[in-house]
Copies of this chain bind each other. A is one copy, B any other.
Amino acid sequence: MADDLLPVDDARARILSGLTPTAAETIGLSEGAGRVLARGVTARLTQPPADVSAMDGYAVRAADAVEGATLAVIGSAPAGRPFAGSVGAGAAVRIFTGGFVPAGADAILLQEDATAAGDRVRVNESVKSGRHIRRRGLDFAEGAEVLAAGRRLTARDIGLAAASNNPWLAVHRRPRIGILATGDEIALPGDPIPPGGIVSSNAHALAALVRASGGDAVVLPIAPDDTHAIAEVAATAHAFDMLVTTGGASVGEHDLIQAALGGEGFALGFWKIAMRPGKPLIWGRLGRTPVLGLPGNPVSALVCAVVFLIPAIARLSGLPGAPPPTRRVVTAVALAQNDRRADYLRATVSLDAEGQLLVTPAAVQDSSMLATLARADALVLRAPHAPALPAGAEVEAILLAELGV
């Protein structure tokens, strides 16, 4: 029943189209790294504020500073302490990198091209007008937008916002993501494990992924497979920008989640996605809160989170929410023809002799193997019905380190 399966790109597009960025908040510059600007940052000063020296040396008049000439040193202009006077004929002012070029001077004589002797300096190499001077506004001018709305701020951007005199920033609030693991059989790490049960790992891994992607993660207590318990959590969904559930998405379980959540708002959709691992997905809305229901299988949950949740958090954060970036890499082993589901092969990455990225998919791709996923550096993309490929062929891969997960 191929027509039952929703292509990955269609599913992601539907999810993203239902999301709107969070509102703005004001934060201190020192909290800004990694945040997404809700408003552009405008320079509140001009940098450099005047013509400044790019080097240590002497501010001179180029016409006078010819090889063999001797100039009178009439003062100094270190960074931050402008020389108040003017450089007349035959004069020079000692200057340091960042120092304002004094009135009258039009060039910098490098200190390595000069010989100082008391209050005089000998020119050992002629200078050209304008040399080693950084013009006023070379970096940015007051009033110019130095960082645009919608940009996720790097450490360098923080430096630029600081240098342009902006102690405050308007950014999108971090999306607050509630994470709900469901299941009678799961226990928190270290807690007593019920007979036949397993330790809950999804909520903790997803919380780390949410934080690495710029969201605030709220891990909710585990809900048993019980309509009432799940409905109780659902009633608090309004506190979140998105509710992520894990478990309760397979064929035998989704009726429960559906029934439990259905009472709180619009009906939820149950999608079978044309992907492996991670076929079943719930998508819908409780009141105003979007709900993404991931599979209970840990590998499926994390791969689905890479494919759907990280872009969703990006969109909520004020970014476009693009598909995970892929790189063209070389497969170290032959790959079989793929069936109708997009495959995300867990693979390690190494560098070949020519410095190319080489991927080696794990020999066993069973979706229960969390250790294999943890050891993986990449997810190799195999499109639906992709043909068999020999070792050495190029493939597309998601490099997990690039996503910070």
Are the C-beta atoms of B201 and A159 separated by less than 8 Å?
Answer: yes
State which size class the interface on A falls in.
35 or more
Q: Which residues of A contact B (CB under 8 A)?
A: 29-30, 32-34, 45, 47-50, 52, 54, 56, 78-82, 96-98, 100, 111, 134, 138-140, 146-147, 154-168, 183-186, 188-190, 193-202, 204-209, 211-212, 219, 250-252, 296-298, 302, 328, 355-356, 366, 368-374, 376, 400-402, 404-405
Q: A116–B113 Cα gap in the complex (Å)? A: 94
8 contacting pairs across A/B (C-beta < 8 A): A29-B189, A47-B198, A56-B252, A140-B371, A156-B302, A158-B208, A159-B201, A160-B373
CB-contact partner of A298 in B100, B159, B202, B296, under 8 A: B159
| B residues in contact with A97, CB < 8 Å | 250, 297
Chain B residues near A372 (CB, 8 Å)?
139
Known: A250-B97, A371-B139, A404-B404. A198 touches B49 (CB 8 A): yes
Residues of B within 8 A of A207 (CB): 30, 158
A101 to B402, CA, bound (A): 39
Complex: chain B residue closest to A250, CB-CB: B97
* Chain B residues near A368 (CB-CB < 8 A): 48, 52, 54, 134, 138-139
Specify which of A159, A202, A296 lies most central, judged by the most chain B CB atoms within 10 Å of its CB.
A159
Question: Does the CB pair A204–B30 fall under 8 Å?
Answer: yes
